[in-house]
Amino acid sequence: MLRLAHSVTLSPGPAYPLHVTANCYRAEGNARGDASAVTLILLHSAGFHKEMFEPTIAELFSLAGRGGAHHRSPAQIAIREAWAVECPTHGYSAVLNEDILRSPEWDEKFCAEEYAKAAYAILTLPKSAGGAELDPVAHNFVGIGHSMGSVSMIYLAARIPIKSLFLIEPTLCAGRRAQLDQLQEKLFRRSYERKDTWYTREIAEAYLKSQAPNWSSEVLALFVKHALRPHQAAQHKVPYNGVTLACSRNQEAVLYRAVDDAAEYILDSLSTTIPIHLIFGEIANIMPLFIQEAIAQVPTRQFASITRVEGATHLVPQEKPELLAQMVYNLLMNDARSDSRRRAML
């Protein structure tokens, strides 16, 4: 059974100027004493929140725990814990940072690399400073990122040792930026024009279900709980007591503007040292198929695997969380077998 072990909140300071929050999840009878156990790090997509991955994490823990720790076969993967870090402009973190983000210093600044800096700060700073103080020697890190979070994960992997990397529908351009202008414009418009206010969470849930019928029911419930916040007008003399998106429309749009090539070069370098798995939805409804193929076929990089999740669109973790977990777990087992074969040849 998945349980939230604890949450960590890093306050603004010299290491990082914004509030950063992260959740640590563990399973009952987790493998903290197993030196081979992996620690998952998960970074979410634009417009979502750190709890988005809970159904996927739960299924991963279930797969790892079958048979129990004392009966685990050599082919099984042990999971020590999972850390989901929230982008500081999203979810509960956005509420904490609301006043800071109004300052001109942060106008148009936030980007995928900034999310990686926030994740690095909260994961590595000592507990006395409000961080998680994760020791890279004691943890075998596995990175999992979705969409914008995949790009952030590439930046994070350049800062901490990652054993395996999973990029789910990464928003890369593979040198085709000019051909993505139309998509970028579409994402801008969608961000600014999306409905963002409802009178109650129940009304919001009904609306979101009508707009995203393929999301899993658990993911939808988590979104209503964690991606919505009390409306700012609740503080007025004549209050409006509805709810609104925690990540403002402008903050989401900023992330779609911030496209750069640095992550592409980092990915090329990482692919020569660690297994990197590229995962797409079967239905290419956001990133065009020709861009997905270009990402996979860049001659300066190599992927350990390239797979598609049946029946899923760009929103793989939202629509097929259990299927995604099964895919990730099987690929982790493949990585472990490959690593064992390499060690045997030394």
For the chain, the domains span 2-177+259-345
Residues 6+ apart with CB under 8 A from 98: none
Pairing between β-strand 79-85 and β-strand 140-146 as defined by DSSP bridges: unpaired
Structure tokens at 6: 């604890």
Phi-psi region of 43 (alpha: psi -120 to 50; beta: other; left: phi over 0): beta
Q: In what order do the strands lie in the sheet with 243-245?
A: 197-198, 243-245, 228-230
CATH class as words, domain 2-177+259-345? alpha beta
DSSP state of 186: H
pTM above 0.85, yes or no: yes
Residues 6+ apart with CB under 8 A from 297: none
**pLDDT tens series, the chain, 346 aa:** 678 888 999 999 999 999 999 999 998 766 666 888 999 999 999 999 999 999 999 999 999 987 444 445 555 799 999 999 999 999 999 999 999 999 998 888 899 999 999 999 999 999 988 899 999 888 999 999 999 999 999 999 999 999 999 999 999 988 777 677 788 888 888 899 999 999 999 999 999 999 999 999 999 999 999 999 999 888 888 888 899 999 999 999 888 877 778 999 999 999 999 999 999 999 999 999 999 999 999 999 999 999 999 999 999 999 999 999 999 999 999 998 887 777 666 6
Q: What gap in Å lies between CA 208 and CA 213, rounded to an integer?
A: 8
